[in-house]
A and B are shown apart, each in its own frame.
Chain A
Amino acid sequence: MEFSNINIIDVLPGMFLVTASLLAVLSIAIKRNHKLIFGLTSGSLLAVFVYLLVYASDHQFTVEPLFVIDGFGTFVTGLIVMSSLAVSLLSYAYFEQREERKEEYYILLLLATLGSDMLVISKHFVSLFLGLEILSISLYAMVAYLRKRPRSDEAGIKYLILAALSSAFLLFGMALIYATVGSMEFKDIGNYLGSVSNLPITMFAGFGLMTVGIGFKLGLVPFHMWTPDVYEGAPAPVTAFIASVSKGGMVVLLVRFFGEINGQNYPVIVLSFSIIAIASMFTGNFLALRQSNVKRILAYSSIAHLGYLMVAFLAGGSLGTEAVCFYLVIYFLTNIGAFGVIAILSDHERDAENLDDYRGLFWRHPKIATVFTAMLLSLAGIPLTGGFIGKYYLITSGIGADLLLLIGTLVVNSVIGLYYYIKIIAVMFDKAEGSETIALRPRLYIINLVTLFVLTALMIWYGIYPQGLIDRIRDFLQ
């Protein structure tokens, strides 16, 4: 790597996040101040976003051999940064009212954002693995952040062990591929594959092992076991982060890798991902049906949603990438919104995760219930919400690529999914009075509520007028 060729302004986002997290560490060393560190985090995330808007949108370049900063990467980086910002806004109120020390959380949040950001721009196994580990290690701590809760610990340890195991698989897979190809760059792997007629057995094994690692990160069946437990145990804002930023970064990486090696040309790979996608959709939706814990329902629903997303990923091509981008935007908005609702309703002892906590919510807190209803309808893919357009985009890309079986599965699963989304909505509109769960101080409550309103407004706006977002995505992808 020749550092002399790198223009410092080009790699500013990463620099910014690193600097911000260092500053955060220093500020804790001097004096603990939740407000300050929260301001620092949000400010730096916002600054990165502004930078991306102003500068990066028309600057494309590569940092050989590790990173490629193209439109796709820039777009998703922006998305990730904004999602982290939303998560940090939700976290402020959430952690403010809890006993534990809160400041370190923001360092982890910044680092996890950095890791995810690295994933989406990497074009090399080394940067991939670095990004992934930065992301994962931050997440271990974030998941177990509320140490006084036994379930939080359990989730943290579970995540730690399984993620470490999956990293090992990933690493072994990479090693096998490197042993065959002699390079760790995606492009070289693609070229090598183009030059051989049969997939050598080592490559085959390498891809298989990598699939395990990636599938784990995305929570795809059969590597999904951790998802419901970690979603349930982690603090609600962290769950929002895992559901959106962490998974999103991996999806983008997968799309990039697949594009470079022309994965669509290998029936074996396509077949195995199709099976994974179909299994994820069915398993996610069927297991969600029987849950009575809202976090677990959303966890299983996210398994299914990642399965849906696989349709656009397998479709590939420019339409597929567009669909992935669009769906990610909506999926991020919706998930952060939904977990934001859980966060806002949570009290000191536990998160509002039982279905009973939501009974009659509409009559007690109509604003929050409206937001949650909108989010659930978007997850279910009902028109007027972004989720519908997103799902429509997926189906379009799938039909364009003739993936009829996957499309059929997607449609069947949308119907199954309806059942449990509607179940939550029905509970919220129930006439019976439920338990009072809001314990936030008014000022904090306002911050959260405004964040949620913005998310909902965006989500509905993209549902009614998606053209703006589509144009934006196309601009970036060119």
Chain B
Amino acid sequence: MILILFIVILMVAGILAWMVARTSETLARWISLSALLVTFGLSVYVWKYQSSLEGQWIAQFILPWIPSFGISFSLALDGLSLLMLMLTFFLGIFSVLISWNEIKERVGFFHFNLLWVLAGITGVFLTMDLFLFYFFWEVMLIPMYFLIGIWGHENRRYAAFKFFIFTQASGLLMLLAILGLYFIHGGQTGIFTFDYFQLLDTDLSLDVARWLMLGFLAAFIVKLPVVPFHTWLPDAHSQAPTAGSLILAGLLLKTGAYGLIRFVVPLFPEASAEIAPWAMLLGVVGILYGASLAYAQTDLKRLVAYTSVSHMGFVILGVFAFNEIAMQGVVMQIITHGISTGALFVIAGTIYERIHMRDISAMSGLWKKAPFMGTVGLVFVLASLGLPGLGNFVAEFLTLIGTWPASHVLTILATIGIVLATAYSLRLMQKVFLEKTEESRSFTDFSLREKIIVIPMVVLIIWLGLFPQPVMNTVKKLIANQFNTEETIIIESDDDGVQ
């Protein structure tokens, strides 16, 4: 029951916020904020209570929806979904806070879209019915389109268009694959259903599985994104309003990663094993390509966007390494990247709010005027380059350890990507916060509201860097289940803290 609450609260609050905005815009903001606080509270409560449970699944909720097609409104929560949900609501709170002053026009409609994107994302992370999954996959698309297209920067229309067409086209391929699976399963068993757990047992010939997997893969690697399907991302990220960039980088990309872990690998184990070397190669290409392009950017938001391309390379690399430790790394990467990149977009957004530019060659010496912002910036820049003690290090380190047995060459190349990350991260730091200060320009440090946003993020990224174990324990059952038939590398996962 609690599962449906997550979605319903967000959707209802979205409609409410839209309606009350006519009388009071502040009230609309408070409604969105409290809805997200409540859902976040609920998810933390579930997290507290889940550790005592046996088995992978924490909660389930099923209602028949369109029985004549075997479609049910089926939600289920396991450790992975739970972590993703907590991340969603956590970043959701900040996306409302960050737009508190930034969004001044059509406030109600903005919050409606914001909450519905989050509701769609929540649905994607929870649903165990493939039809419903596609449904939510699309539900998060339209509001995001509006967020970029209405409140974005100067080139918003083009960016929104591109984002929409890319994701929609790839989504349709996934729909075809879902339908293919549905019919094959129905033909074999006589039960036509979209239920994830039943479809898991479908008997597929390798040839068919290969095609169906490509359909799923199309949707997920566009969303992730994997080079060469990444071109929508820099545009969408740089043109979106700050809250939009935060959600895009922090959450929407993660739905692709989640899809790979939840659907592609379990549904098509042989086919994905077959494609794994290529997928990992693409991952490495993404790491290196994203990092080198990030180094070349002058637009601050575009730079951060390309770092996402680079970091998401680790996700696909880890997923297709097929072992427990790499998978743990991927989950960590999903969370830490969500926080660190989200925070960088928050910083970019606050800078833009103050001086109305995103060109890093024109900024310099902001540290002197805004030391607090500089410090926070430094933390997340360091996180992004993978400094030990911060969450991203754990994630990338685990991924690389896991990848090593799968391919030595690719692991080495991916490690070079971390070196490149150092280069672009330090350049970012240097250009924005250091060098000589232009005295004439007025620039204020973080306000209290902005501090409320960044401090929890800093705390969390450090906490994840020092104590990643609770996160790993949460997804342990899922990952153990996935690899119970395959050879896994036995590692001591009992010791707390940094490796």
Contact = CB atoms under 8 A, between A and B. Distances in A.
Interface of A: 363, 377, 382-384, 388, 392, 395-396, 399-400, 407, 411, 414-415, 418-419, 422, 426, 429, 431, 465-467, 470-471, 474
A467 B179 contact: no
14 contacts: A382-B138, A382-B142, A395-B176, A399-B179, A415-B165, A415-B168, A415-B169, A418-B164, A419-B165, A422-B145, A422-B161, A426-B161, A467-B68, A471-B68
Given A396-B179, A415-B165, A415-B169, A426 B134 contact: no
Contacts of B179: 395-396, 399
Contacts of A383: 134-135, 138-139
A397 to B, nearest CB: 11
B478 interface: no
Interface string B146-185: 1001100000010011001100110011011001100100
Given A382-B138, A426-B149, A467 B67 contact: yes
A383 B133 CA distance: 11
Interface in B44-68: 65-68
Closest 4 A-B residue pairs measured CB to CB?
A: A383-B138, A415-B169, A383-B135, A411-B172
A431 B173 CA distance: 33
A384 B116 CA distance: 12
B164 A422 contact: yes
Given A415-B169, A426-B157, 5 more contacts: A382-B142, A392-B175, A467-B67, A470-B68, A471-B68
A415 B161 contact: no
Contacts of A429: 146, 149-150
B183 A470 contact: no
B180 A384 contact: no
Contacts of A400: 183
Interface in B174-220: 175-176, 179-180, 183
Contact of B65 (A377, A407, A467): A467
A474 B67 CA distance: 13
Contacts of A419: 161, 165
Interface in B10-42: none
B66 A399 contact: no
A429 B169 CA distance: 23
Contacts of B165: 415, 418-419, 422
Contacts of A388: 138
B278 interface: no
B111 to A, nearest CB: 15
A419 B66 CA distance: 30
Nearest to A429: B150
Given A383-B138, A415-B168, A399 B180 contact: yes
A377 B143 CA distance: 12
A431 B104 CA distance: 13
A414 B67 CA distance: 26
Contacts of A382: 138, 141-142
B69 interface: yes
Interface centre among B106, B134, B175, by most A CB within 10 Å? B175
Contact of A414 (B66, B146, B160, B172): B172
A399 B180 CA distance: 8
B101 to A, nearest CB: 19
A465 B65 CA distance: 7
A401 to B, nearest CB: 11
Contacts of B69: 396
A183 B445 CA distance: 89
A470 B135 contact: no
Contacts of B164: 418, 422
Contacts of B172: 411, 414-415
A391 to B, nearest CB: 9
Given A415-B172, A426-B161, A470 B142 contact: no
Contacts of A415: 165, 168-169, 172
Contact of A470 (B66, B169, B176): B66
B149 A384 contact: no
B282 to A, nearest CB: 23
Nearest to A396: B179
Contacts of B180: 399
A450 B132 CA distance: 31
Contacts of B183: 399-400
A409 to B, nearest CB: 12
Contacts of A467: 65-68
A431 B152 CA distance: 12
Contacts of A396: 69, 179
B66, B134, B160: which has the most chain A beta carbons within 10 Å? B66
Contacts of A407: 176
B272 to A, nearest CB: 23
B350 to A, nearest CB: 24
Contacts of A422: 145, 161, 164-165
Contacts of B145: 422
Nearest to A400: B183
Nearest to B68: A470
Contacts of A431: 150
Contacts of B134: 383
Nearest to B176: A411
A453 B194 CA distance: 32
Contacts of B141: 382
Contacts of A414: 172
A42 B168 CA distance: 41
A395 B142 CA distance: 22
Interface string B309-352: 00000000000000000000000000000000000000000000
A370 to B, nearest CB: 10
A399 B66 CA distance: 19
A101 to B, nearest CB: 43
A402 to B, nearest CB: 10
A34 B277 CA distance: 74
Interface in B355-386: none
A474 B138 CA distance: 28
B57 to A, nearest CB: 26
A384 B65 contact: no
A415 B146 CA distance: 18
A429 B106 CA distance: 11
A399 B175 CA distance: 12
B141 to A, nearest CB: 8
B160 A426 contact: yes
A429 B151 CA distance: 10
Among A363, A383, A431, A470, chain B packs the most CB atoms within 10 A around the CB of A383
A382 to B, nearest CB: 6
A457 to B, nearest CB: 15
A383 B157 CA distance: 22
Nearest to B180: A399
A99 to B, nearest CB: 38
A363 B108 CA distance: 12
B137 to A, nearest CB: 8
A360 to B, nearest CB: 11
A315 to B, nearest CB: 13
Contacts of B150: 429, 431
A467 B70 CA distance: 11
